[in-house]
């Protein structure tokens, strides 16, 4: 695909990096010559210095011949206007980054569609929804739902107390006697493995398992996961992610938010009437302890500083907090942070990219999730009529290396994929794929 990205900031650069790996033809636009120089020196793409609301700049970037135009500058008005202009001069699809919740209202959304904007992306809102989803989960493992919970992906780090440590998948299957879940991947050290029956589960492995509601109880028993009740929550940082998450939660849970800036703290008192706002330096552990850190069920660090968020969550764990969530925007820190015992890492660049990425796929993708700390993704494909995967049983299809089919949703029913399973048109198929295989597998659906 020919893709033009306006905005060479964090989100734009990350998107370019991911899309280049898939051999897309990328052009990036930015007004800042220094950012463009940085992009030119690190990525194999075409770049244009100029305003994305200039017809001349858009034409120089070949927007009129593009399959997809993505505006992710820091200014939503600029993004909206440039998407309208891009669509008018010939871009097939356009996506705009915004920071106004009002625009996401379904009624208002139609206005933007009529203006030619195919999708609105609000990174902070996406990240806030991820935080809410994490707090609804069972235990301290991460869970990703597909098709409204008909299929669920569990992720779990193996510790010394795990019942499945030092066993291979064949042994686990024999002991569990359950066909309602499937191990689809193992992250070990720096690599991710698509496993077979002989692969053994080691200490500190992160395992990924697909299940359905029927298989949930036995899977929880296998993992030794107990339900974790979340009642008391503390946020560190009054960022947009923190505020939006607190607004979702304040009517259901006891929420405290610690913010360093006095002026911002006063504003948050009005914006979050049912949240206790504390003006203080959250890097000072004495303040957090004084405000009841030891009584918290969950601690969410969403300041603008990745290092602060990581360290704060590690301290919260030491004080007995059951669930910790850190916003880590520095991609290089994600793997380190996940190995330090932090339960969940939130990265709005990854979350935003996941949403945009579906527009670059040949097949219909209803959802996609980039998994932090791995080089893999979980995708939910909608199977088209006459798709390759409908022609034979799964065991008779020569799938690309690095792909494993996890589960299938057919109507209101869901089941785990087996060798004798045959996929049908309109099935939703959840699969796990390593990065090099993602676009190869799309052609099968």
DSSP for 77-119, written as a single string: HHHHHHHHHHHHHT-S-EEEE---GGGGSHHHHHHHHHHT--E
CA distance 171 to 195: 13
CATH, range 2-121: 3.40.50.720
Give, in words, the CATH class of 238-321: alpha beta
N-terminal to C-terminal alpha carbon distance within the chain = 18
Show pLDDT as tens, one digit a residue, over the chain (445 residues): 899 999 998 889 888 887 887 778 999 999 999 999 999 998 889 999 999 999 999 999 999 999 999 999 999 999 999 999 999 999 999 999 998 889 988 888 889 999 999 999 998 998 898 888 888 765 556 677 788 788 888 888 787 777 888 888 888 877 766 678 888 888 887 788 888 888 889 888 888 888 888 887 777 777 777 767 889 999 999 999 999 999 999 999 999 999 999 999 999 999 999 999 999 998 899 999 999 999 999 999 999 899 999 999 999 999 999 899 999 988 788 878 877 888 888 888 878 877 787 777 766 776 777 776 667 788 888 998 888 999 999 999 999 888 889 899 998 888 888 888 999 999 999 998 887 787 788 888 8
Neighbour-count burial for 258-281, b at 16+ CB within 10 Å, e otherwise: bbbeeebbeebeeebeebbbbbbe
Cα 137-209-338 angle, rounded to 5 deg: 65
- How confident is the model at residue 373, as a pLDDT? 63
> What distance lies between CA 237 and its chain's CA centroid?
21
3-state helix, strand and coil shares in percent for the chain, rounded to the nearest 5 = 40, 25, 35
- How confident is the model at residue 340, as a pLDDT? 83
- Find out whether 215 and 178 touch, Cβ atoms under 8 Å: yes
Pairing of β 403-410 and β 25-30: unpaired
Closest Cα partner for 104 from 82, 129, 124, 121?
Answer: 121
**Kind and range of the H or E run holding 269:** helix 262-271
Residue 215 backbone dihedrals phi, psi, to 5 degrees: -85, -5
Domain extents in the chain: 2-121, 135-223, 238-321, 352-442
Fold match between 135-223 and 238-321?
Answer: no
* Domain formed by 135-223, architecture: 2-Layer Sandwich (3.30)
CA distance 83 to 119: 10
Structure tokens, 4: 């033009």
Residue 11: count other Cβ atoms within 10 Å of its Cβ: 25
CATH, range 352-442: 3.30.70.1450
Residue 431 backbone dihedrals phi, psi, to 5 degrees: -135, 160
CA distance 346 to 334: 9
Three-state secondary structure of 279-311? ECCCCCHHHHHHCCHHHCCEEEECCCCHHHHHH
């Amino acid at each position: 695909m020919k893709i033009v990205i306006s905005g060479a900031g964090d989100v734009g650069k990350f998107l370019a990096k991911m899309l280049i790996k898939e051999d897309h033809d990328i052009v990036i636009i930015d007004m800042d010559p220094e950012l463009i120089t940085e992009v030119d020196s690190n990525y194999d793409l075409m770049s244009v210095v100029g305003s994305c609301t200039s017809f001349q700049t858009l034409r120089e970037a070949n927007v009129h011949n593009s399959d997809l135009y993505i505006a992710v500058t820091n200014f939503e008005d600029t993004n909206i206007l440039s998407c309208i202009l891009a669509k008018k001069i010939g871009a097939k699809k356009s996506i705009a980054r915004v920071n106004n919740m009002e625009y996401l209202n379904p009624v208002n959304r139609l206005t933007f569609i009529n203006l030619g904007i195919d999708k609105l992306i609000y990174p902070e809102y996406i990240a806030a929804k991820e935080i809410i989803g994490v707090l609804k989960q069972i235990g301290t493992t991460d869970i990703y739902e597909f098709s409204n919970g008909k299929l669920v992906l569990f992720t779990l780090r193996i510790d010394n107390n795990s019942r499945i440590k030092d066993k291979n998948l064949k042994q686990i299957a024999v002991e569990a006697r359950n066909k309602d879940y499937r191990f689809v991947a193992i992250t070990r050290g720096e690599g991710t493995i698509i496993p077979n029956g002989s692969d053994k589960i080691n200490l500190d492995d992160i395992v990924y398992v697909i299940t359905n509601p029927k298989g949930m109880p036995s899977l929880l028993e296998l993992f030794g996961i107990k339900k974790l009740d979340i009642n008391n929550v503390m946020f560190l940082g009054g960022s947009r992610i923190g505020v939006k998450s607190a607004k979702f939660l304040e009517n259901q849970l006891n929420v405290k938010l610690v913010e360093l800036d006095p002026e911002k703290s006063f504003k948050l008192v009005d914006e979050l009437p049912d949240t206790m706002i504390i003006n203080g330096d959250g890097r000072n552990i004495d303040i957090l302890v004084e405000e009841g850190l030891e009584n918290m069920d969950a601690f969410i660090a969403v300041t603008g500083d990745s290092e602060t968020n990581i360290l704060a969550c590690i301290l919260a764990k030491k004080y007995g907090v059951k669930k910790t969530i850190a916003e880590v925007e520095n991609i290089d820190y994600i793997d380190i942070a996940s190995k330090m015992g932090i339960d969940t890492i939130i990265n709005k660049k990854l979350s935003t990219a996941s949403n945009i990425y579906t527009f670059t796929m040949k097949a219909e993708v209803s959802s996609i999730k980039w998994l932090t700390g791995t080089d893999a993704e979980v995708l939910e494909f909608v199977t088209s009529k006459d798709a390759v995967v409908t022609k034979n049983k799964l065991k008779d299809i020569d799938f690309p290396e690095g792909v494993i089919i996890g589960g299938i949703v057919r109507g209101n029913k869901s089941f785990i994929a087996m060798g004798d399973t045959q996929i049908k048109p309109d099935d939703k198929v959840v699969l796990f794929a390593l990065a090099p295989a993602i676009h190869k597998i799309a052609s099968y659906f």
